[in-house]
């Protein structure tokens, strides 16, 4: 039989089967055959000789719509993602009102614009949100949520909600999540606010421009958010989750410090089943490389932190890698000094290439581990596996074909997104997609976007 599309003669890599030479066929939106190399025929054939075929990358941590509207970000950022082999993203969204009332409009902005698939994770900001959890799961197909420890006390001022986000409230939503009969995920921003806000202006209340202020560099940011404020917060909240037997669905987002990763390893050793995520910037930048463009919370830290995080990715403590991607323009991003600049930067499209370049090519992790942390484990953590992240017959045909030898210099033009800068601008990165396939559709080919805007769709969970 002739298949719709065949990726021929590549080296397929999956965590379940390791690396093997094969042809992969897709029909419609699914993988329909995996067979010996050179045996399958297709209407379209992509030659993957000398290349590797991986399940499409998943960025579980994006903030589309945070600085521009979702409509704009959905289009430009998902287009850019194809360049980097990302075929699914998880986007964080938070609003003070009722999600059941808001989400129809939000879905309507997403649906015509995404080139690839997506799911949402909703910020819990009030007791009303806690009460809505069963309906959000039932009616909206959303099963992941976020606990922002960094908005403790400031939520009334920042969001206009009647909730200071103290632990009685957290206790209530963890109990509610634990009581659901479908799998859920609780993302946790680990930060002890009493400590970080005492060390400078409260970073979540806009301090504004002050002409008399001395210039503050990146070290000021690092000093305001010390590693122990992250580590202590993770342990305290993880303990609360454990009291409700919910630690296996507790997901620590953007672990930035070696200390936090080491403490997470200790907790896992003791039987706590917390999942850890780090981001590419904590693995590939150090504070001394950073300026206004690299303001992000938590901040990028030291070379020692970076090496510890790589070791913890390699040994299994950290099981997912995201980016905290935000699309913003350089002029909007850069403020009076580093702390005054907007947090977040564009980075989804460089997720997989940076892990291939600085993880695999530098022998910090094997290719199979790179697939786990950029795709398979992430799909499992957000309960979209094996539909996503598996590369098995009968699952979504999300594939990325990578040339591990290809070196490109990062520029905004290369990445084709909405932002006019990249935190990695000028860096030579080795290991790039040559083709990206989204649910059976060839969407990116040697520098050209050939996919279809609107092809992407919301992944209703539970799948």
Whichever of 230 and 324 has its CB closer to Zn ion, that residue is 324
Nearest-approach distance from CB 63 to Zn ion, in angstroms: 6
Whichever of 155 and 443 has its CB closer to Zn ion, that residue is 155
| Coil vs helix vs strand at 290 | coil
Q: Directed axis angle between helix 227-243 and helix 258-269, to 10°? A: 30
Residue nearest to Zn ion (CB): 324
Tell me the CA end-to-end span of the chain in Å, nearest whole number.
30
Q: What angle do CA 95, 106, 437 make, to 5 degrees?
A: 125
Whichever of 113 and 297 has its CB closer to Zn ion, that residue is 297
Nearest-approach distance from CB 297 to Zn ion, in angstroms: 8
In the region spanning residues 32 to 51, those forming contacts with Zn ion, defined by CB under 5 A, are none
Q: Are strands 52-55 and 399-409 parallel, antiparallel or unpaired?
A: antiparallel
Whichever of 159 and 432 has its CB closer to Zn ion, that residue is 159
Taking residues 299 to 338 in sequence order and writing x for each that binds Zn ion by CB under 5 A, - otherwise, the string is -------------------------x--------------
Nearest-approach distance from CB 296 to Zn ion, in angstroms: 9
Nearest-approach distance from CB 324 to Zn ion, in angstroms: 4
Nearest-approach distance from CB 386 to Zn ion, in angstroms: 26
Whichever of 252 and 397 has its CB closer to Zn ion, that residue is 252
**CB proximity list for 66: less than 8 A, separation 6 or greater:** 73, 326, 344
Whichever of 227 and 324 has its CB closer to Zn ion, that residue is 324
Whichever of 4 and 324 has its CB closer to Zn ion, that residue is 324
Q: If binding is defined by CB under 5 A, does position 403 make contact with Zn ion?
A: no
Whichever of 117 and 324 has its CB closer to Zn ion, that residue is 324
Residues β-bridged to residue 79: none
Whichever of 192 and 395 has its CB closer to Zn ion, that residue is 192
Site size with Zn ion, rule: CB under 5 A = 1
Nearest-approach distance from CB 323 to Zn ion, in angstroms: 9
Nearest-approach distance from CB 418 to Zn ion, in angstroms: 17
Residues β-bridged to residue 101: none
Site of tokens 């206790």: 171
Nearest-approach distance from CB 343 to Zn ion, in angstroms: 9
CA distance 141 to 116: 18
Burial 277-311 (b: 16+ CB within 10 A, else e): bbbbbbbbbbbeebebbbbbbbbbbeeebbebbbb
C-alpha dist (Å) from residue 349 to 29, 62, 98, 258:
23, 11, 32, 25
CA distance 46 to 53: 11
CA distance 252 to 235: 10
Nearest-approach distance from CB 388 to Zn ion, in angstroms: 20
Q: Is the peptide bond before 364 cis (omega within 30 degrees of 0)?
A: no
CA distance 142 to 458: 10
Using CB atoms within 10 A of its CB, is residue 69 exposed (0-12), middle (13-18) or buried (19+)?
A: exposed
**Short-list 189, 192, 187, CA closest to 250:** 187
Nearest-approach distance from CB 455 to Zn ion, in angstroms: 26
Whichever of 60 and 417 has its CB closer to Zn ion, that residue is 60
In the region spanning residues 267 to 306, those forming contacts with Zn ion, defined by CB under 5 A, are none
**Short-list 121, 147, 138, 109, CA closest to 61:** 121
- Which residues bind to Zn ion, rule: CB under 5 A? 324
């Amino acid at each position: 039989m002739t298949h719709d599309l065949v990726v021929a003669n590549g080296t397929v890599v999956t965590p379940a089967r390791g690396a093997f030479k094969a042809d992969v066929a897709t029909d419609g939106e699914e993988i329909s055959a995996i067979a010996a190399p050179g045996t399958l025929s297709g209407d379209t054939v992509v030659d993957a000789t000398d290349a590797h075929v991986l399940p499409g990358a998943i960025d579980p941590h994006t903030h589309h719509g945070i600085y521009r509207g979702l409509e704009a970000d959905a289009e430009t950022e998902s287009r850019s993602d194809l360049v980097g082999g990302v075929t699914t993203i998880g986007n964080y969204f938070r609003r003070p009102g009722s999600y059941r009332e808001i989400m129809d409009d939000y879905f309507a902005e997403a649906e015509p614009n995404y080139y690839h698939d997506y799911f949402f994770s909703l910020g819990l900001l009030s007791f009303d949100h806690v009460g809505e959890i069963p309906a959000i799961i039932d009616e909206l197909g959303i099963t992941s949520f976020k606990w922002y420890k960094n908005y403790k006390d400031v939520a009334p001022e920042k969001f206009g909600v009647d909730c200071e986000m103290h632990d009685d409230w957290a206790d209530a939503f963890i109990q509610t999540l634990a009581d659901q009969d479908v799998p859920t995920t609780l993302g946790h921003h680990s930060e002890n606010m009493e400590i970080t806000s005492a060390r400078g202006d409260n970073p979540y209340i806009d301090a504004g421009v002050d002409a008399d202020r001395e210039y503050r560099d990146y070290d000021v940011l690092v000093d305001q958010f010390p590693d122990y404020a992250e580590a202590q917060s993770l342990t305290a909240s993880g303990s609360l989750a454990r009291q409700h037997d919910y630690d296996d669905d507790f997901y620590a987002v953007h672990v930035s410090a070696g200390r936090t990763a080491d403490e997470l390893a200790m907790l896992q050793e003791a039987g706590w089943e917390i999942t850890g995520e780090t981001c590419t910037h904590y693995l590939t930048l150090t504070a001394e490389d950073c300026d206004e463009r690299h303001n992000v919370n938590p901040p990028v830290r030291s070379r020692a932190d970076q090496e510890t995080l790589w070791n913890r990715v390699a040994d299994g403590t950290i099981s997912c890698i995201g980016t905290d991607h935000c699309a913003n323009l350089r002029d909007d991003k850069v403020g009076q000094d580093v702390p005054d600049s907007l947090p977040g930067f564009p980075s989804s499209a460089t997720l997989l290439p940076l892990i291939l370049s600085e993880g695999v090519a530098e022998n910090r992790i094997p290719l199979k581990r790179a697939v786990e942390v950029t795709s398979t484990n992430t799909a499992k953590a957000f309960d979209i596996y094996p539909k996503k992240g598996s590369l098995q017959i009968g699952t979504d045909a999300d594939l990325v074909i990578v040339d591990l030898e290809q070196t490109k210099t990062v520029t905004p033009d290369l990445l084709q997104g909405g932002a006019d800068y990249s935190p990695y601008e000028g860096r030579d990165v080795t290991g790039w997609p040559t083709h990206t396939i989204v649910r059976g559709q060839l969407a990116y080919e040697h520098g050209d976007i050939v996919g279809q805007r609107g092809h992407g769709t919301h992944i209703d969970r539970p799948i």
